[in-house]
Structure 1
């Protein structure tokens, strides 16, 4: 294992959140290493929305411009690798990569995102982030007035239906089993002509990621243009767990208002620590994390 230097901060994850933090730290002349494996959470998403100045831009273009700008700061380095292990070494941290390298730093930032766990439904993965989406703020305007399904049940389905009712009057909730709604919620659905289908989904019939129909287990079909779904997820990196970072009940890395985890010297930002899953939120939390990391370095050394 090759030892390759000491940094003020190692940032694991070089997408929107990590790059935003890297810029804040680079502008404070901090020695920073960004380690990125090139697998952003939204790599299938064709366009980013609800992000002022970048509305409708391809996420890969936003990331490319951000990387170019961040690397203009001479104290920031960037490598393409996957961080495999992390340990505390006294007051420092040592990170190992899949390329056989070891890097050391005083502080750590995880901007590692999450991995969606796809259901065993044919065609679902191909349509995910294209015509099967998770967020009406990110995608709702583009699929307004369309035949829209909601693959959820209970309170989550009710909440999503309430948000979508302003965007389309063609909503069908696919509960994939017995509906779990109160009488008051059912009355709301009836008032707004929202249908409920209890059948389990067998397959998504799609072409190049665009839904045509949903095929149910009884071989009946429902024509749809778009589908909202909430997926289970797992952390993209195991290193926060290795270091003892606590997680929330939902599975996010627990952070305070300054993006600090429960482990001293370790911060997290972006999708790994927030249910507000968007490029704009990743950039915002990365900026906060970068500033707070710099403050900790100042407090340690001044």
Structure 2
């Protein structure tokens, strides 16, 4: 069986950045990816220096092309099914839907996925409803926007943040009550609050036009921001016995090293939360330097 220095699971900005760094360090690397990256639903990615407004797939294509000069790096479209460690050899077996890989090191960079309390949000997510004002606030500036969230702390934080881009805000809690202090804070900024249950979202081709409440009232809105919950799309970190903190984040040393020897993690996968392309790519670079240094010290 062909043996690799590192198998990178996930070809988002973290995984591809790590693969590039490891390739330049002359490490033999296999990148496995199933194309389920979280940002595939959006039309443009923002905030990555030199690549602002780029389409997510174009960003990924450019990153993959950057790997072509490095013959020790391969990338394939596969879904990893299982990762196990042989305690006698300290090597990992990575089983995908196509083949099995033998490797010294594992980098988990599969990112996270969103869950919404309102399933209909999916129809608008990435087109007129977003979760990151830094990523998409500029495009929605000065428009009539909705803030949809059920947790009061999250709601307050997001509303304060989005207020920088648009003052025309209406808050929707989808049936959840908020404190008088929070309500007074919003009213002081002329931000209306609806605590009614949301019946339906209306619009065409992913472009929001109004939010209909259970009462039948429809409030016109051109777009807005939602606060989803996030989860890892797999249990690899848990199955490999990587230690987690009280919030579910995988504990690392700052260079991707987990509490399990040979297992590294980078990007959104680590903290189970959203990240920018720029930060995820930086995390991938740091993890790659950790991997390369460990391989260097083990072999020298």
- Superposition TM-score tier, normalisation by shorter sequence: over 0.9
1:271 Cα offset (Å): 1.5
Deviation at 1:206, TM superposition (A): 2.1
Find the counterpart in structure 2 of residue 255 from structure 1: 252
Deviations for 1:99-139, whole angstroms, at most 9, x for unmatched residues? 2x1111111001101121233443x1111122111111001
Unaligned segments of structure 2, at least 5 residues: none
Task: Give the corresponding residue for 1:293.
Answer: 291
Whether the 8 Å contact between 2:112 and 2:274 is mirrored in structure 1 is no
CA contact (8 A) 2:42 2:126 kept: yes
Provide the residue aligned with 1:96 in structure 2: 95
Tell me the residue number matched to 1:233: 230
Whole-angstrom distance in 2 between the partners of 1:27 and 1:146 = 46
Question: Partner of 2:113 in structure 1?
Answer: 115
Q: CA deviation at 1:259?
A: 1.9
- Following TM superposition, by how much is the alpha carbon of 1:159 offset from its aligned partner in structure 2, in angstroms? 0.7
**Residue 69 of structure 2 is aligned to residue 72 of structure 1:** yes
Match of 1:223 in 2: 220
How many residues align structurally?
A: 296
1:211 maps onto 2:208 in alignment:
yes
Deviation at 1:143, TM superposition (A): 0.2
In the alignment, is residue 18 of structure 1 matched against residue 37 of structure 2?
Answer: no
The worse-fitting range, judged by mean Cα deviation, of 171-180 and 154-163 is: 171-180
Backbone CA RMSD of aligned residues: 1.5
User: Matches of 2:206 and 2:248 in 1, distance apart?
Assistant: 28
TM-score relative to the length of structure 2: 0.94
Does residue 1:189 correspond to 2:186, yes or no?
yes
Q: Is the aligned partner of 1:177 residue 2:166?
A: no
Going from structure 1 to structure 2, the CA distance change for 1:215 and 1:255 (only over 3 Å counts) comes to farther
Of residues 121, 125, 128, the one that matches 1:128 is 125
Q: Does 1:246 align with 2:248?
A: no
Aligned counterpart, 1:154? 152
SS at the partner of 2:160?
Answer: helix
C-alpha separation between the residues in 2 aligned to 1:249 and 1:231?
20
Q: Per-residue CA shift, 1:5-43, capped at 9, x if unaligned?
A: 110000000121111000000000001010111111111
Which sections of structure 1, spanning at least 5 residues, go unmatched?
Answer: none
TM-score, normalising length: structure 1:
0.93
